[in-house]
Amino acid sequence: MSTDDSPSICNVWKGNTSKIINKLELQIPSHFQIYSDMYKEYLRSIDDIFGTCVLSEKEFFDKLNIDPNFMKNLGMYSNFLSGIWINQIENYDNYLKWYSQMRISGLKSYEEFIHTMMDSYSKTLSNLSKNMKK
């Protein structure tokens, strides 16, 4: 049996590491769908609560004879606040995109560094191996 056919410590760990990583990668779509479904249900529930509230309170507020100008101003104020929230949602989305790009870039830089270090490590092992044969 040649040395190329014998398993190495790195091959044993690499094989099992790859199995685990592949399993995790296969779970990504399922996890995204699960969190997406939960988030959608959360948002739908909030929307439904406000819809129910409107139906329940309509008759009460109709009897108060609230000034139409007040309602107009309240609507404008509500639109203003909604605009701020929508702007914040968009800003947070942009932040998440930037943050993920930064993290991915950092991981790629780290991977390049590790490859450089592993090349150096391999050369050192090779030199040690040559010296051990002498």
From first to last of its 134 residues, the chain has per-residue pLDDT tens of 444 567 787 788 888 899 999 999 999 999 999 999 999 999 999 888 888 877 777 778 778 888 889 989 999 999 999 999 999 999 999 999 999 999 999 999 999 999 999 999 999 988 988 888 76
* Cα(103)–Cα(116) distance, integer angstroms: 20
Instruction: Give the residue from 107, 105, 103 showing the smallest Cα distance to 115.
Output: 107
Q: What is the mean pLDDT of the chain?
A: 89
Domain residue ranges of the chain, discontinuous segments joined by +: 8-65, 66-134
The reported pLDDT for the residue numbered 50 is 82
At residue 119, the pLDDT reads 94
Q: Within 13 Å of residue 112, how many CA atoms lie on the same side as its CB?
A: 6
**What DSSP string runs through 38-86?**
HHHHHHHHHHHHHHHHHHHHHHHHHHTT--HHHHHHHHHHHHHHHHHHH
| Predicted local distance difference test score (pLDDT) of residue 134 | 65
Given this model, what pLDDT does residue 1 score? 41
Q: For 68-92, write each residue's pLDDT tens digit.
A: 899 899 999 999 999 999 999 999 9
pLDDT of residue 37: 95
pLDDT of residue 2: 44
